[in-house]
Amino acid sequence: MLAALERELAALNTDVGIVQTQYATWDEPLRLKSGVELAPVTLAYETYGTLNSQRDNAVLVMHALSGDAHAAGRHQPHDRKPGWWDTLIGPGRALDTTRYFVICVNVIGGCRGSTGPSSINPATDQPYGARFPVVTIPDMVAAQMRLLDRLGIETLQAAIGGSMGGMQVLELAINYPDRVRQAVLLATAAKHSAQQIAFNHIGRQAIMHDPLWRDGDYYGHQPPAAGLATARMVGHMTYLSEERLQWRFGRKLQSAEELSYAHQSEFAVESYLDYQGNSFVDRFDPNSYLYITKALDYFDASDGFASLVAAFEQAQARFLVASFSSDWLYPPQNSEDIVAALRVAGRDVDYVAMNSPLGHDAFLLDHERLTPLISEFLDTTEESGTPS
Amino acid sequence: MLAALERELAALNTDVGIVQTQYATWDEPLRLKSGVELAPVTLAYETYGTLNSQRDNAVLVMHALSGDAHAAGRHQPHDRKPGWWDTLIGPGRALDTTRYFVICVNVIGGCRGSTGPSSINPATDQPYGARFPVVTIPDMVAAQMRLLDRLGIETLQAAIGGSMGGMQVLELAINYPDRVRQAVLLATAAKHSAQQIAFNHIGRQAIMHDPLWRDGDYYGHQPPAAGLATARMVGHMTYLSEERLQWRFGRKLQSAEELSYAHQSEFAVESYLDYQGNSFVDRFDPNSYLYITKALDYFDASDGFASLVAAFEQAQARFLVASFSSDWLYPPQNSEDIVAALRVAGRDVDYVAMNSPLGHDAFLLDHERLTPLISEFLDTTEESGTPS
């Protein structure tokens, strides 16, 4: 009776359970786009599911600005929250771990286990700080290709990512065309516009003008928490739609019945932003925020080609592109520019413009609509075989 | 010959010439919405044109967040720039100073001559700093009504303002219905949404977290310039349209040919924002930024009434409302909400939704299209007489 109940519960249980972050290190220098050589390079990564004997069922999940390798499951049974894309990864979920070997790698420049500005600089035995070399989206992807080599994965079944993750997928599909059969781009852009650069710039200035930043050498001291909180609040605003903010907060006061006529935060939306800013400080390194936003601003998927069309002529993967109507950070037009170039280049592309009130964050939140979209796309291509 | 040329030049000259800021002070306390009494109260103001003998040709220009009393003309012959709305004010311009007596008053809470946080607190003989009482849009308008009393102006021909200026016009038209015959609202809102509050909140937090803010007591010390610059950059982004930024800057680099792979600002849009932030510090008091954004967030034109419609049932003025398509700070919907309520309340209202790439700043910049709109509106109502 108890055994039967356990079996039933197990059948209902579609999450990946307890997982561990793994680490891989290379002493061989990674030559960055800037020409600087970075060594050693450590990558933090997690995997879910099992690599099959043909080693062809791997799906690489590529994370966004504030993401990390912990995409699914829990590190400890009582973790308050699972990984950041847990709703899409697990047995029977969009990235079905009974079929796919799902990999997620923390980007270099980050602060969640992979080499970044808080890592020890072997030249000084001190944290790099602002002496860490500027890394680019191509550098982040090159590092992940090393990990695929080490795992013995020549060609990915798929690469998938939203926002900065989508930029990494673009870089991978264009510059490593024989390493990926399916590319899923959510809420992303082929390059940043002036407005996208500007919001990142404001965040960087807020951090660098915080006196606690100390030119990047704050490790062992108080970090520039106020600067990072401001940067996060600015960023967070661009992730939310006006309508979602209005529906959730409107002009509601946080606790009082009446206006206080004082300086503290009193509207509920103010308290919410304060919480977003302050809690980010606990999990993110301000220097990594500088480096990763710089990588976003630098990225141009057509770099090294005459045009985005010429870049896509190199690609071999089949593409799925999705945008969200209320995303004003990477508005649907950004996705449509990618889709138009893919079509001119003769690539196979499905485009879904989703009507959503969730803003940019829809790619993280709207798993109910993303699940059939992604799982059917992965299925279809599997049936039609790999591209020539 | 020379005299004829001079006369011709004079005829071509449609600006108001050299002007002076004037000051009026009241010792009698102004009772604020918060219940606090403010005294003394000084108002800085400028006037252009001549008050007629019936004293009924006055037009009150109400300024926005970073504006001041200097709306037109120059203080010195070689001033680099004229007043902030010079393109609309002068002989033959939209606010024709050969016909109207134009008045512009710096709001209380400001830092350009009217009583604000940098004024001396008579209780301590020190600048108020953060002990200055919170002022509201109704308080700003109440102070200006005192000035009209002193100038002997019972009823204004018109009140006109964009952004926060539009809110002051709303307050005036609703709560002083017999003091204004025509109300012109440009790029404004009847109350702030959660998003509008949120962007102001981020700016306030950036200032208050700057250690140089010193709880508001920085007078005589270095001001919290970095915090104010961040606040201004955030605000400035909301004034510009995405398309205008893209057209003007795109991904252009400021000076170099290639990416620097370093931490400095290098995209042209970054340098532009740095300039906007840093130059604002020279002309604006960080504490005033806190107070005035708070007044914006607090404002609700329907305060004290059952609804906005009920509020407008009080009004007697004829209204002109204009919005700009690419204004995402006060999007056209904000104006349309006002217009809908005015119509339900049975008020006389013209609404013009202008197609413009200039973003929120269009109300300051698009004088070519605003000139006929405003001058015809003022004319028409004049012919049809004052409301009963």
B344-372 pLDDT, tens digit each = 999 999 999 999 999 999 999 999 999 99
Q: Which residue has the tokens 């976003």?
A: A296
Torsion of CA B379, B383, B387, B388, to 10 degrees: 170
Nearest to residue B387, comparing CAs of B180, B185, B184?
Answer: B180
The nearest CA of chain B is from the CA of A23 a distance in Å of 27
Q: How far is CA B312 from CA A330, B136, B290, B307, in A?
A: 39, 19, 29, 9
**Cβ pair B134:A194 closer than 8 A:** no
Averaged pLDDT for residues B224-230:
97
The nearest CA of chain B is from the CA of A269 a distance in Å of 6
Quote the distance between the C-alpha of residue B349 and its chain's center: 22
pLDDT tens per residue across span B127-178 = 999 999 999 999 999 999 999 999 999 999 999 999 999 999 999 999 999 9
- Measured from the Cβ of residue A8, the count of other Cβ atoms closer than 10 Å reads 10
Of the candidates B195, B263, B274, the beta carbon closest to that of A130 is on B263
Q: How confident is the model at residue A271 (pLDDT cuts 50, 70, 90)?
A: very high
Q: What is the C-alpha to C-alpha distance for residues B275 and A171, in angstroms, rounded to an integer?
A: 34
**Cβ pair A267:B191 closer than 8 A:** no
Averaged pLDDT for residues A202-231:
97
∠ at Cα B60 (B300, B63), nearest 5°?
55
Here the tokens at position B145 are: 């009504």
What confidence score (pLDDT) does residue B341 get? Answer: 98
Q: What is the C-alpha to C-alpha distance for residues B13 and B90, in angstroms, rounded to an integer?
A: 9
Q: How confident is the model at residue B1 (pLDDT cuts 50, 70, 90)?
A: low
Comparing A75 with A384, the larger pLDDT belongs to A75
- pTM to 2 decimals? 0.94
pLDDT tens per residue across span A272-317 = 999 999 999 999 999 999 999 999 999 999 999 999 999 999 999 9
Chain B residues with CB under 8 Å of A230 CB are 202, 205-206, 209, 230
**Cβ pair B202:A226 closer than 8 A:** no
Averaged pLDDT for residues A117-143:
98
Q: Which of A134, A237, A271 to mutate to test the interface with B (most CBs of B within 10 A)?
A: A237
The nearest CA of chain A is from the CA of B13 a distance in Å of 39
**Cβ pair B229:A205 closer than 8 A:** yes
**Cβ pair A277:B205 closer than 8 A:** yes
Q: What is the C-alpha to C-alpha distance for residues B91 and B85, in angstroms, rounded to an integer?
A: 14
Strand ranges (DSSP E) for A72-174?
89-90, 95-96, 101-105, 120-121, 126-127, 158-162
What confidence score (pLDDT) does residue B385 get? Answer: 46
Q: What is the C-alpha to C-alpha distance for residues A127 and A182, in angstroms, rounded to an integer?
A: 38
| Residues A80 and A57: beta-carbon distance below 8 Å | no
What confidence score (pLDDT) does residue B257 get? Answer: 87
B270 part of contact set with chain A, CB < 8 Å: yes
Q: DSSP of B258-290, one letter per residue? A: S---SSS--BHHHHHHHHHHHHHHTT--HHHHH
Here the tokens at position A303 are: 């770099």
Q: What is the C-alpha to C-alpha distance for residues A69 and B211, in angstroms, rounded to an integer?
A: 35
Length of chain A: 388
Percent of all residues in chain B with a pLDDT value above 70, rounded to a whole number: 95
Of the candidates A34, A245, A273, the beta carbon closest to that of B202 is on A273
**Cβ pair B273:A237 closer than 8 A:** no
Quote the distance between the C-alpha of residue B359 and its chain's center: 16
What confidence score (pLDDT) does residue A14 get? Answer: 78
| Residues B182 and B381: beta-carbon distance below 8 Å | yes
Amino acid at site B111: C
Of the candidates B199, B249, B270, the beta carbon closest to that of A237 is on B199
What confidence score (pLDDT) does residue A385 get? Answer: 46
Q: How far is CA A206 from CA A82, A239, B215, in A?
A: 31, 18, 19
The nearest CA of chain B is from the CA of A364 a distance in Å of 21
For B51, half-sphere exposure in the C-beta direction (CA atoms, 13 angstrom radius) is 15
Residue B387 has pLDDT above 50, yes or no: no
The nearest CA of chain B is from the CA of A268 a distance in Å of 9
Percent of all residues in chain A with a pLDDT value above 70, rounded to a whole number: 95
Averaged pLDDT for residues A355-363:
96
pLDDT tens per residue across span B30-45 = 999 999 999 999 999 9
Here the tokens at position A304 are: 């090294």
Here the tokens at position B34 are: 């918060």
Q: How confident is the model at residue A257 (pLDDT cuts 50, 70, 90)?
A: confident
Q: How confident is the model at residue B268 (pLDDT cuts 50, 70, 90)?
A: very high
pLDDT tens per residue across span B113-133 = 999 999 999 999 999 999 999
Q: What is the C-alpha to C-alpha distance for residues B107 and B68, in angstroms, rounded to an integer?
A: 7
pLDDT tens per residue across span B74-124 = 999 999 999 999 999 999 999 999 999 999 999 999 999 999 999 999 999
User: What does residue B121 show for φ and ψ, rounded to 5 degrees?
Assistant: -80, 115
Q: What is the C-alpha to C-alpha distance for residues A42 and A120, in angstroms, rounded to an integer?
A: 11
Percent of all residues in chain A with a pLDDT value above 90, rounded to a whole number: 93
The nearest CA of chain A is from the CA of B31 a distance in Å of 14
Nearest to residue A241, comparing CAs of B300, B324, B194?
Answer: B194
**Cβ pair B245:A195 closer than 8 A:** yes
Find the closest chain B residue to A234 by CA distance: B202
Residue A383 has pLDDT above 80, yes or no: no
Q: In DSSP terms, which residues pair with B320 in a beta bridge? A: B184, B350
| Residues A9 and A115: beta-carbon distance below 8 Å | no
Q: Which of A241, A259, A280 to mutate to test the interface with B (most CBs of B within 10 A)?
A: A259
What confidence score (pLDDT) does residue A256 get? Answer: 86
Q: What is the C-alpha to C-alpha distance for residues A55 and A353, in angstroms, rounded to an integer?
A: 33
Of the candidates A34, A198, A269, the beta carbon closest to that of B273 is on A198
Rounded to the nearest integer, the mean pLDDT of chain A is 95
What confidence score (pLDDT) does residue B244 get? Answer: 93
Q: How confident is the model at residue A27 (pLDDT cuts 50, 70, 90)?
A: very high
Q: How confident is the model at residue B276 (pLDDT cuts 50, 70, 90)?
A: very high
- In the three-class reduction of DSSP (H, G, I as helix; E, B as strand; rest coil), residue A46 is classed as strand
Here the tokens at position A379 are: 């299925």
- Nearest-Å Rg of the Cα atoms of chain B is 21
Chain A residues with CB under 8 Å of B191 CB are 251
Residue A327 has pLDDT above 90, yes or no: yes
Chain B residues with CB under 8 Å of A196 CB are none
Residue A384 has pLDDT above 60, yes or no: no
Nearest to residue A107, comparing CAs of A157, A41, A155?
Answer: A41
Give the list of residues 6+ apart from residue A278 with CB closer than 8 angstroms, or none.
A225, A229
What confidence score (pLDDT) does residue A268 get? Answer: 97
| Residues A116 and A287: beta-carbon distance below 8 Å | yes
**Cβ pair B202:A237 closer than 8 A:** yes
Residue B374 has pLDDT above 70, yes or no: yes
Length of chain B: 388
Give the list of residues 6+ apart from residue B257 with CB closer than 8 angstroms, or none.
none
Rounded to the nearest integer, the mean pLDDT of chain B is 95
Sheet containing B318-324: order of strands:
B22-26, B41-48, B101-105, B58-62, B158-162, B182-186, B318-324, B349-354
What confidence score (pLDDT) does residue B380 get? Answer: 83
Residue A359 has pLDDT above 80, yes or no: yes
> What's the start-to-end Cα distance of chain A, in Å?
53
**Cβ pair A251:B193 closer than 8 A:** yes
| Residues B163 and B178: beta-carbon distance below 8 Å | no
Q: Which of A207, A209, A241, A296 to mutate to test the interface with B (most CBs of B within 10 A)?
A: A209
**Cβ pair A300:B208 closer than 8 A:** no
Residues 233-252 of B with CB under 8 A from A: 233-234, 237, 240, 242, 245-246, 248-251
User: What does residue A373 show for φ and ψ, rounded to 5 degrees?
Assistant: -60, -50
Could you give all domains of chain B from N- to C-terminal order, each with its CATH number?
Answer: 2-190+302-384 (3.40.50.1820), 197-293 (1.10.1740.110)
pLDDT tens per residue across span A333-354 = 999 999 999 999 999 999 999 9
Q: Is B27 exposed, middle or buried (0-12, 13-18, 19+ CB in 10 A)?
A: exposed
Residues 203-222 of B with CB under 8 A from A: 205-206, 208-211
A337 part of contact set with chain B, CB < 8 Å: no
Here the tokens at position B57 are: 């040709």
A306 part of contact set with chain B, CB < 8 Å: no
What confidence score (pLDDT) does residue B14 get? Answer: 78
**Cβ pair B230:A206 closer than 8 A:** yes
Chain B residues with CB under 8 Å of A294 CB are 263
Find the closest chain B residue to A35 by CA distance: B261
Nearest to residue A165, comparing CAs of A149, A144, A196, A195?
Answer: A144
The nearest CA of chain B is from the CA of A258 a distance in Å of 11
